[in-house]
Chain A
Amino acid sequence: MKTKEVMVLEDLLGSNKKIANQIRKKLTDKGILTINLLSSPGSGKTTLLESLSEILAPEYKMAVIEGDIETERDAERIRAKGIPAWQIITGGACHLEAKMIGKLFPKIPADLDFLFIENVGNLVCPASFDLGENIRCVLLSIPEGDDKPKKYPKAFTTSHCLIISKTDLAPALPFNIEQAKKEALEINPNLKLLTTSAQSGTGIKELAEYFIESLQKIRRTNA
């Protein structure tokens, strides 16, 4: 018996990345824009999707994949808006992985315009897992505090868009929106910045327009 050293150099996330790339290619080829929503629990992802559906659903076909540790509640809220929704119950896992999205693949209608994936509420773990999305959006709500970008850098460095949500609460809380934007841009100078309030409706239209423009962009590239 002898010992032997073997060089490997393999990515622990390699298998996830491979599945994610297959998902992205298949969905993009069909002209579907996929958006991965990431944030802490309670920053308003589901409420934002409900508000967005009011603007998008009359003209576009959208569907939602909901990731939660337990319950079907979020998917039920989305279905109540007349939008198809599938719930992934992770049973304890703190994030979604590409293979979980892959399993749902046969259910996804080919004529969709937008596929939203609402990740498990967690600002740390989901940031490491590509789900095959075209756009990753991180939400930061006013009650969470403006210091989050630098405390949770990976969620912000890997995202394309930052949505500062619940801005109707800004007058009541010491959240400095300009400071949060500045710090987020220091971490990721390419971030698209948007502010929304699902309660007052502020910024929802601009967010919908950003998604529509991104959809048109992938379709132009396909053509």
Chain B
Amino acid sequence: MHELSLIANLFEIMEEKAAEKNARKITHVVLQVGKLSGVVPELLITAFDMYKKDTIASEGKLEIKEVPLKILCRDCKTEVVKDDFVFICAKCGSSNLKTLSGMELYLEKMELEVD
């Protein structure tokens, strides 16, 4: 359950950005969570709802966008979305691959209430 540490980091970023914009409230938060990010989206939401009390996002809602694991074979140039974690090109058998997405743990955007 390292999701709570990640949510603590999220709030640090959120509060800093909200202060820059002189926001009164944060009403909506969108996270990008990669398939291989090693976190459980439901636990992130639970942790967010626990953490938000008495913060600028106390009425805020967390939305999670799951990002698929996408790899590119450097040899045959095939791009594949993987449901398993087998890092071998299904087309040519090469293991010379590049991960294009799936590791993300990003705060994508927020909706703020400003004066």
Contact = CB atoms under 8 A, between A and B. Distances in A.
Interface of A: 1-16, 93-95, 97, 124-125, 127-129, 150, 153-154, 157, 186-189
Given A1-B114, A4-B21, A6-B21, A12 B105 contact: yes
A24 to B, nearest CB: 19
B108 A7 contact: yes
B12 A3 contact: no
B107 interface: yes
A189 B24 CA distance: 49
Contacts of A94: 1-2
22 contacts: A1-B114, A2-B113, A3-B111, A4-B114, A6-B17, A8-B110, A9-B108, A9-B109, A12-B107, A13-B6, A93-B5, A94-B1, A97-B5, A124-B38, A127-B38, A150-B84, A154-B36, A157-B85, A186-B85, A187-B87, A188-B87, A189-B95
A188 to B, nearest CB: 6
A1 B113 contact: yes
Contact of A6 (B10, B85, B112): B112
